[in-house]
Structures are given as C-alpha cells and as structure tokens.
Amino acid sequence: MNKETEALGRHILVEYYGCNKEKLRDVTLLEQELLQAAKITGATVLNSIVHKFTPQGLSVAVIIAESHLTIHTWADHQYASVDLYTCGNLCDPWKAFEYMSGVLETKNYSAMEMKRGIKHFLPKPEEEFDGDYQDPEMTRWYHDLDKYGYGVSIQTIGNRLFREQSAFQRVEIFKTKKYGNMLVLDSKIQTTEGDEYIYHELIAHVPLLTLQNAKRVLIIGGGDGGTAREVLRHENLEEVVMVEIDQVVIDASKKFLPTISCALDNHPKLKLLVDDGINYVKQSGDKSFDVILVDSTDPIGPGVTLFDDDFYKHCHRILTDKGILITQSESPTGAPDEYKELYKKYYRVFGDDNVHSYKCATPTYSTGLWTFSYCAKGGVHPLKDLDEEKVKEFEVKNQLKYYNADVHKSVFAQPNYMRKMLNELKATKFE
C-alpha cells in the first residue's frame, strides 16, 4: 500500500530544542508563522487562537479544514513542542515541520510521524475519500488572513471546485455563498464573480478614458480575463496584448469563471501569450504601447519581480510619449509598507507630478480598500484631461456596473492619511 493512502491522516509530533528565545516569546510572530506553515502544507486555514501564560510560555493553535497545527513554547528552556496534524492526501505536514524549524532557528529536534486512522483497521467505505470536501451542501468560512493582522472571511459552499499546484502557484476555485465562484492563488483571494467588476472596470477605464486615441494596450498578468474583457470594450484600440505566466489560471478561469474570462476566447483584437511578462516588457521595442496595465498578484511569489525598479523602467521605456502605466498597488491600510515601497519606485521612475494613486472599495480583499497607481509618462492628467461627455457615452453604451464620470473623479480623492503617506515618500524617494 502506498504511503499516501494507508491512513486517513498524518500526525507529526515534534520537539524543537535550542530555539531562538526571542522568537519563542513573540506571540504575533508565532501566530503568523504557524498560519504560513499551514498554508505551505497546502491546508485550508479556518482559524487561529493564541494564549499567553504567566510568567512564561505561550500556545498557538491553527485550525485547518484538514485538522490542526499547534505550538507550545517554553522560552527559558529554548524549547517548543509542536503538533502538525493533517488529514487527506492533499497536504504534506512535513513541509510545516521544515518551515517552523527554520523560523525558530532550531539547533536540535526530534520528530515522529503517527498514522491516524490506519485503513487496514477501518471498514472499507463505499466511496474512496479523496481528501477534499465531500458534502455539496456544507458551508465553510474561507479566511484570507494577512501578516498585519487583518483578514477577510467569505463563506463557501460545498466542495472546492478546483485545485492544482501549477509551476508557479497553488490555484484554487471555490463556490461562495454571496459572491459566486472565487479564484484564490497561494491562499490570496484574487477575484470573485460577485464583485470583480469594481476592480476590472477601474483598472481599465480610468486610463483609457483619460488618454485620447490609445491604440495599443499591454496587460501583464490578469489571467482570469476580467481586465481584458473591460479593455476590449474600447473600440478605438487596434491591439491588446495580454501576457499571463500561468496557463493553469487561464484554464481554471475559463472553466469556472466564464463571465469574467469571456473575452479570452478568440477575440479578434486580443493576442494572448502565456509567457513571462517581465521578459516580454524587456524585449518590447521603445514606445510600443499606449497603456500598460499590471494586473498582478501581491508582491510575493511569482508576482514579486513585477514590482522591481527595473521592470518599471522598462515599462516607462516601452510606453509612447503620452503613455500611461496602471498597476494594482495593494492596500495602504492592509499593507502600508508594500504600498509605500511601490510608490517610491513610481515617483523615481515617472517623476512626482506624473504619479497618482486611486482607490476603490472591494469587499473581498482584506481591509476592503484597494488602490491602483496611475503613472503618466507625458503627464496626461487623470482629472484635467478627462472628457466627461465621452465617459458618459461609454458608460451608458456598455452598461457598466461601477464606473462613471463621478466615480472617476471621486477615486482620486485622497484621505489625509494617504496624502501624508505619499507626500512623505516624495521627499524620501531616493533614500
């Protein structure tokens, strides 16, 4: 019998000795790292709970759909006792073992694996359990939790519809109770059928209605197809090139998110390339696109190099004189450090006066507040150069759900704390 199928679950009991004391005392760090360890095993995180003892010691438990991970620490003894228990064939608890060993800077350890529910002793079920959800009526909470202690939770129904580890990331699709089907990449919610229009209408129409006469658009990422669908509503365009690195995302979106991915099937103006967007930008000729839209994941994992100075310099180079670069630029409340890092780079590459930040409220991204950068090579201004009549005509003709001229103007309004953040950055962008 092969190792994977001989038991219902695998339970690893771990002793970590000679750990870093400071880390054993840091409850926030331990909770975040144990959550991260759970994700690395491939588990679906349901919740986490922490407890601090006096005078010393703390416990963290992460509940996963596949069972749980726990850690109990005794900092003075530089010791942690850890349980890593996953059921089903889809998770590998040893990945969490390795990860936590690195986090705690363990000098020594012992670990043993116990099989739970050895199949030899169990009556044979009528149908083999494949380790994934089985009850089509069952509801669960999907938690997308980030390292700053925020998160978003969405109720899902029944079986996970799709899951595959691609060459770049883990691609999953869930059916949600309120927002239709949902695409998740490496445990981060990317889009849902229910609220995708907010993000996609804004990423596409804001630049395409301020820049008159755009002909060529480049989309980097955006494998679900929502950005392409909105861009292709602009009839003045001659060609839209979309470069998505992950075929698995495209295929899963075509199958499970048809209302979002509809433009990906044979649109005459769309050239869809499955390739590395960074190389594509590097190899593109000077001034070859009027608008570039970077519809990427967060600045971790496969998306990380899309957030480099070098990448933005090439974007600047391949834009036409009046061209505009738009990027999804994270949440200023959810990920303030990442947000600031990004805008530092935009100011350096495009110049202070040519960079603007606009925002929207998306219920399915943590904090609900999401932003886009608007970087104009030739200074085309998002408000002064707006042709409101054209917006009106466009928005009515296409029966848009979110975007209109008032929205266009309002998304650039900055609350004071954001204004302050950005002004400080302008002053320190070369530090």
Q: How far is the CB of 379 from ligand AG3 (least distance, A)?
A: 27
Q: Do residues 177 and 156 touch, judged by C-beta distance below 8 A?
A: yes
Within 13 A of 420's CA, how many CA atoms are on the CB side?
4
Q: Which is nearer to ligand AG3, 76 or 308 (CB)?
A: 308
Q: How far is the CB of 315 from ligand AG3 (least distance, A)?
A: 17
Q: Do residues 179 and 192 touch, judged by C-beta distance below 8 A?
A: yes
Within 13 A of 267's CA, how many CA atoms are on the CB side?
23
Tokens read off for 129: 């359990």
Q: How far is the CB of 341 from ligand AG3 (least distance, A)?
A: 15
Q: Is 226 in the site for ligand AG3 (CB under 6 A)?
A: yes
Q: Is 227 in the site for ligand AG3 (CB under 6 A)?
A: yes
User: Considering CB under 6 A, how many residues would be counted as binding ligand AG3?
Assistant: 16
Tokens read off for 238: 């001659």
Q: Is 277 in the site for ligand AG3 (CB under 6 A)?
A: no
Element (H, E) at 2: none
Sort 391 into a burial class: Cβ within 10 Å, 0-12 / 13-18 / 19+: buried
Q: How far is the CB of 249 from ligand AG3 (least distance, A)?
A: 9
The piece of 57-65, 221-229, 281-289, 408-416 that touches ligand AG3 (CB under 6 A) is 221-229
Q: How far is the CB of 197 from ligand AG3 (least distance, A)?
A: 11
- Residues in 119-178 that interact with ligand AG3 by CB under 6 A: 144
Looking at 89, 181, 191, 404, which residue binds ligand AG3 (CB under 6 A)? 191
Q: Is 332 in the site for ligand AG3 (CB under 6 A)?
A: no
Within 13 A of 388's CA, how many CA atoms are on the CB side?
7
Q: For 389-419, give the DSSP string.
A: HHHHHHHHHTT-SS--HHHHHHTT---HHHH
For residue 233, give the 3-state DSSP assignment.
coil
Q: Which is nearer to ligand AG3, 19 or 298 (CB)?
A: 298
Q: Is 190 in the site for ligand AG3 (CB under 6 A)?
A: yes
From the list 196, 178, 175, 172, the residue with the least C-alpha distance to 259 is 196
Looking at 298, 316, 355, 425, which residue binds ligand AG3 (CB under 6 A)? 298
Cis peptide before 55 (omega within 30 of 0): yes
Q: Amino acid letter at 341?
A: E
Q: Of the residues 146, 295, 310, 337, which is catalytic?
A: 295
251 is catalytic: no
Q: Where along the sequence are the contacts to ligand AG3 (CB under 6 A)?
A: 144, 188-191, 199, 222, 224, 226-227, 295, 297-298, 328, 365-366
Q: Looking at the annotation, which residues are catalytic?
A: 295
